Structure 1
Amino acid sequence: MTAPEDRREWDDVLEFWFPEGRFLSVEAQVHHAHWRWRMQGGADDEIIARFSDLTDRAAQAGLEHWALDPHGRLALIIVLDQFSRSVWRDDARAFAQDTHALSLVMDGLSNGHYSALEMPWFQIVFGLPLGHCEGPDHLQRIDLLIRLREDIAASAPTALRAIYSSLADQARDVRKVIAAFGRHPHRNEILNRKSTAAEQAYITEGQFPHKKAFR
């Protein structure tokens, strides 16, 4: 049984990360601005101020019980996959939770939690670790991510469909990067990895899929 305090905490995460709330009538321009805010680091300062302690608790496996509820699982994925990148930006700890977040996604896809999420923006964010987490099955996971995003775009309200189609395109761009390099080269310096010549050329060009989205 979920304690009221836990539900308040994950509701705080969801209400912060999704200013759209739960209304499909959101205007496309407003929704686009929310995505730009989420994906381009506009929330960093507030995340650090409000959610640093919560992010540390999640990283230490202190919020695992949230995953018993579909929305609690989504909130935990957000904390591990997104808030970590703000709280520990430019530090290897930013990516240290990726495997944990991915396990929550895979379990949520199989146990019905993903399907229980009623908003397309909930489902998009739920699936982010499929592309973020490096590993030997990365291409197969990105193929799954593309299919999920195509399904979301096909069922999204007409006014929002172009936004979700663009997110499917972004996943295809990520697939090209992983197919070429087997990892996310823009992380190499932070993770103390040596870049190949091809990776260095890619890094120098700076056309990373996550940076191009919603510019």
Structure 2
Amino acid sequence: MNNTASREIKKVAEILTFWFAGVTDETRIDKKADPFKKWFTKDANFDQAIRTRFENNLVAAQTGHYKEWEKTAAGRLALIILFDQFSRNLYRGTPKMFENDPLALNLTLRSIQEGMDRPLSLLERIFMYMPLMHSEARDIQALSIECFGKLVNESQQKNPANVPYFEYSLGYAKQHRDIVERFGRFPHRNVILSRATTPAEQIFLAQPGSSF
């Protein structure tokens, strides 16, 4: 193994260790504790830590610098986290937060088709499937429900204590699916993306919990 390959393997591990903080399928999940809490709440310090450590890696990934990572499930997951999650942390509230969604979704769809999601833990697969949930395409949303449903079923075998967390994730996926089924897009993105909001969307956005 040459030095470049060794560095890239270490970078994949660094991204995954930073994001998952050592949790496994054996970990008892508490969504109010870290790292679970940090994944889905706005935290300026967490965003800054990502900016300091990984923004250069995201830029490199966008230009295809890490194509070798696609040879392993862990490498693909690291790329998806860069494109789908870190983009949202780094560019929160701007159109750039969504720019890498097509790259993430392409990796997710290929990984499912090739079975490269299967070696990952259930928690890791949540984030491999997250680009499905973020898609504004109805057929992709249907696949999202299928994938998150599998996680619920498999968690019953691996760690029944964590079933509620995977059911929660499936419920969240269903909320996304329902919005896309209704509007063909996520109305809460309209302002950021300079899209006109329809009267029906305005009524919807006035409701509590309409945004993610």
Query: TM-score, normalised to structure 2's length?
Result: 0.88
Secondary structure at the counterpart of residue 117 of structure 2: helix
- Tell me by how many angstroms 1:63 deviates: 1.7
In structure 1, list runs of 5 or more residues that go unmatched.
211-215
Cα–Cα, structure 1 residues 149 and 41, in superposed 2: closer, same or farther, change >3 Å? farther
Cα–Cα, structure 1 residues 30 and 99, in superposed 2: closer, same or farther, change >3 Å? closer
Match of 1:80 among 80, 83, 96: 83
Matched, 1:103 2:117: no
Cα–Cα, structure 1 residues 181 and 32, in superposed 2: closer, same or farther, change >3 Å? farther
- Tell me by how many angstroms 1:155 deviates: 3.3
Alignment correspondent of 1:69? 72
- Tell me by how many angstroms 1:134 deviates: 2.2
Alignment correspondent of 2:200? 198
Aligned AA (1:12): E
Equivalent residues in 2 for 1:39-188 (5 A)? 39-42=40-43, 43-117=46-120, 119-135=121-137, 137-188=139-190
Secondary structure at the counterpart of residue 114 of structure 1: coil
Alignment correspondent of 2:9? 7
Q: Distance in 2 between matches of 1:104 and 1:151?
A: 24
Cα–Cα, structure 1 residues 64 and 48, in superposed 2: closer, same or farther, change >3 Å? same
CA-atom RMSD in angstroms: 2.1
Alignment correspondent of 2:191? 189
In structure 2, list runs of 5 or more residues that go unmatched.
none
Q: Distance in 2 between matches of 1:146 and 1:93?
A: 26
Aligned AA (1:67): E
Deviations 1:177-198 (A, max 9, x none): 1111111111111111011112
- The alignment-based identity, stated in percent, is 27
Greater relative contact order (Cα < 8 A, sep 6+): 1
Aligned AA (2:199): A
Q: Distance in 2 between matches of 1:206 and 1:64?
A: 42
- More displaced stretch, 42-51 vs 26-35: 26-35
Secondary structure at the counterpart of residue 113 of structure 1: coil
Alignment correspondent of 1:213? none
* Alignment check: 8 A CA contact 2:30 2:36 kept: no
Query: TM-score, normalised to structure 1's length?
Result: 0.87
Cα–Cα, structure 1 residues 152 and 126, in superposed 2: closer, same or farther, change >3 Å? farther
Q: Distance in 2 between matches of 1:112 and 1:168?
A: 21
* Alignment check: 8 A CA contact 2:138 2:180 kept: no
- More displaced stretch, 82-91 vs 70-79: 82-91
Q: Distance in 1 between matches of 2:209 and 2:92?
A: 19
Secondary structure at the counterpart of residue 3 of structure 1: helix
Aligned AA (1:190): I
